[in-house]
Amino acid sequence: MQLYHHYFSLNSQKVRLALEEKRMDYISHSLNPLKGKDLDAELFHLNPNGKIPVFTNGNRIITETLEIIHVENNSCRYIDSVNEPLGMNDIDRERLEEWMQKVDEWNPKLFTLSHTPFKLRRYFSRFKRRVAIARMAENPDLASKYRSKLHNAYATEELLNNIDEINANEQQLINILDAADSLLASTQYLAGASFTMADVMLIPVLARLELLQLDKEFIHSRNQLSEYWARVKHRPSYHKVIGQYFSGFNRHKTFFTTAFTVGLRDFFRKY
């Protein structure tokens, strides 16, 4: 099994949490999207959309986050300790599916970018467009894929100018958080008494809110959700996938090293 991912990517965090919770071994390929590494030709050969995460197992290539996690949660190819779905029988299966779908339908990229300072957003966006153009020149057979990627980048910029879309995206998140807060008043985890893939889907969303320093408004204003967040952050999988990169001083170190590298490449035109 191989996973193309990066710890900056919220959807990558979901998949890595799933793998860590199931204690599955896999070969890791880290592709920093802010450095334009998700534009490498190798990834485009695996996923024409040029998006991470990408999960491969033999000849099977899976590019949709929810489908990857379903594979992890319902696999019949591994030893019994891995094979059993998280939560075993101590959960509400219908609620599990409902929550996984609900979280997957929300667009974290639009929310993240809309809460990122404009100058910083523009800087990295411009750098990535230059990387895409450079890769297109190097790989003419993938030119149409890179043009599509550039088109999507411009479309995202347009979307960020649409206040109605941004407000709708934030309201969708608020609805998710309100529903979780209400549910957690009567159960320890989203699908019942045990930790499940529904929790795996939600944890990176809460981590992103904390990273954007929006946790006071969106998490801690909801008592049950705040207690839940404090509880799940103690899980070893959280520390390995998210905490070691974004807790305390580490968050500044993580972003500084990336910004420094991008700055050097941009200065020397090394795209």
Sheet holding 54-57, edge to edge: 27-30, 2-5, 54-57, 60-62
Model pLDDT for residues 228-270, shown as the tens digit of each residue: 999 999 999 999 999 999 988 888 888 999 999 999 999 999 9
pTM comes to 0.94
Model pLDDT for residues 128-180, shown as the tens digit of each residue: 999 999 999 999 999 999 999 999 999 999 999 999 999 999 999 999 999 99
Give the up-direction half-sphere exposure of residue 125: CA atoms within 13 A in the CB hemisphere.
19
Q: Please name which of 235, 164, 222 lies closest in space to residue 13, comparing C-alpha atoms.
A: 235
Beta pairing partners, 55: 3, 62
Q: What is the DSSP string of 137-201?
A: HH-GGGHHHHHHHHHHHHHHHHHTT-HHHHHHHHHHHHHHHHHHHHHTTT-SBTTBSS--HHHHH
